[in-house]
Amino acid sequence: MNLLRSDGDKVFVQAGTSINSLIWHCLAEGLTGIEFLTGLPGSVGGAVLMNAGAFGGEIGDRVTRVSYLDGRGKVIDVDSRNAGFSYRNSIFKSADGIVVGAEFLLKRGERSEIESKMKEILAKRIQKQPLEYPSAGSVFVRPKSDFYVGSTIERLGLKSLRVGGAEVSEKHAGFIVNRGGACQKDILTLVEIIRKKVEGATGVILNTEIEIWKEVE
Ligand SMILES: Cc1cc2nc3c(=O)[nH]c(=O)nc-3n(C[C@H](O)[C@H](O)[C@H](O)COP(=O)(O)OP(=O)(O)OC[C@H]3O[C@@H](n4cnc5c(N)ncnc54)[C@H](O)[C@@H]3O)c2cc1C
């Protein structure tokens, strides 16, 4: 499901399209407004579901409608105003169907400007995120808008803490990276250590942004 179709300032994208294909398509079409997601891994479906965001923007701000296959097998169009987009959340997260596509409303722009914005965002991402090692992205959800998880973990001296092959990233303490051979248990042990320390020091209970499907013994 990777169809991409433009109509003027609108782009309709099927859910299996990668975010980067969408961004490159917009560059080719001279459409601006979505460059803030440059370098975000994953598909349009996954990003819409969690209202992915970066560098001050959220995907939900650019979506006008979402095509959704509900639990009874019926495709419905959900207006973005009814999609419950909020910080890393949407109604689709707790629903029983799947996102099959989304329509974006963008603006006409100069290709050279769009491209330099993309390069700028990618450079920021490379500078701030530990992309040199495998990870599942930011581990914890920000519990409130003024609570920065990465810097709190750093202040508590947990940067570079290792369990087996898993390590609290030296570059960004909000990430746990695989330094080689990390297994689920290593990562979950680190998650628990961080949660306990942060709760002890600040009283704040952190919830994970990463999804833990099943804990393996
Ligand atoms: C290195 C790195 C950097 C990241 N940086 C950011 C960032 O800056 N900002 C940010 O917001 N996120 C960030 N993330 C998280 C990223 O947004 C998500 O990993 C990605 O958007 C999820 O999309 P996916 O297609 O990979 O979904 P998956 O990981 O495959 O799935 C995630 C969840 O969505 C569900 N899902 C996927 N597609 C659909 C669909 N079509 N319909 C219904 N449910 C679906 C899956 O069942 C699963 O529950 C980062 C991740 C990594 C690894």
Measured CA to CA in angstroms, residue 169 lies from 28, 38, 137, 149 at distances of 35, 22, 11, 13
Q: Is 54 in the pocket of ligand 1 (CB under 6 A)?
A: yes
Tens digits of per-residue pLDDT, 96-130?
Answer: 999 999 999 999 999 999 999 999 999 999 999 99
Q: Specify the residue for token string 């965002």.
A: 121
Angle at 71 between CA 67 and CA 76, to 5 degrees: 25
- In the reported structure, the alpha carbon of residue 169 is separated from the centroid of ligand 1 by a whole-number distance in angstroms of 20
Ligand 1 site-directed mutation target among 1, 50, 99, most atoms within 8 Å of CB: 50
Topology given in CATH for the domain delimited by 4-128: 3.30.465
Is the per-residue pLDDT at 192 higher than 90?
Answer: yes
Domain boundaries, the chain: 4-128, 135-202
Q: Whose CA is nearest to atom 13 of ligand 1?
A: 137
Amino acid residing at 110: E
Catalytic residues: 88, 138, 209
Per the CB < 8 A criterion, the answer to whether 104 and 29 are in contact is no
User: For the segment 114-173, what is each residue's pLDDT rounded down to a tens digit?
Assistant: 999 999 999 999 999 999 999 999 999 999 989 999 999 999 999 999 999 999 999 999
**Residue partners of 148: CB distance under 8 A and separation at least 6:** 142
Instruction: Name which residue leads in pLDDT, 146 or 196.
Output: 196
**Which of 14, 19, 40 most suits a substitution to test ligand 1, by most atoms within 8 Å of the C-beta?**
40
Closest-CA residue to 40 (of 134, 125, 146): 125
CATH fold group of domain 135-202: 3.90.78
> Please, which residues have CB within 8 angstroms of residue 43's CB and are 6 or more apart in sequence?
15, 16, 17, 18, 19
Determine the distance separating the centroid of ligand 1 and the alpha carbon of 17, expressed in angstroms: 12
Atom of ligand 1 nearest to the CA of 131: 1
Q: Is residue 46 in contact with ligand 1, taking CB distance under 6 Å?
A: yes
DSSP for 149-164, please give it: HHHHHHHTT-TT-EET
The residue whose C-alpha atom lies closest to atom 10 belonging to ligand 1 is 52
- Going by the DSSP 8-state scheme, the letter that residue 56 receives in this structure is T
What distance in Å separates the CA atoms of residue 184 and residue 163, rounded to the nearest whole number?
11
**Pocket of ligand 1 contains residue 57 by CB under 6 Å:** no
pLDDT in tens, 31-73: 999 999 999 999 999 999 999 999 999 999 999 999 999 999 9
- Tell me what pLDDT residue 145 has: 86
Residue 217 has pLDDT above 70, yes or no: no
164 in ligand 1 pocket by Cβ < 6 Å?
no
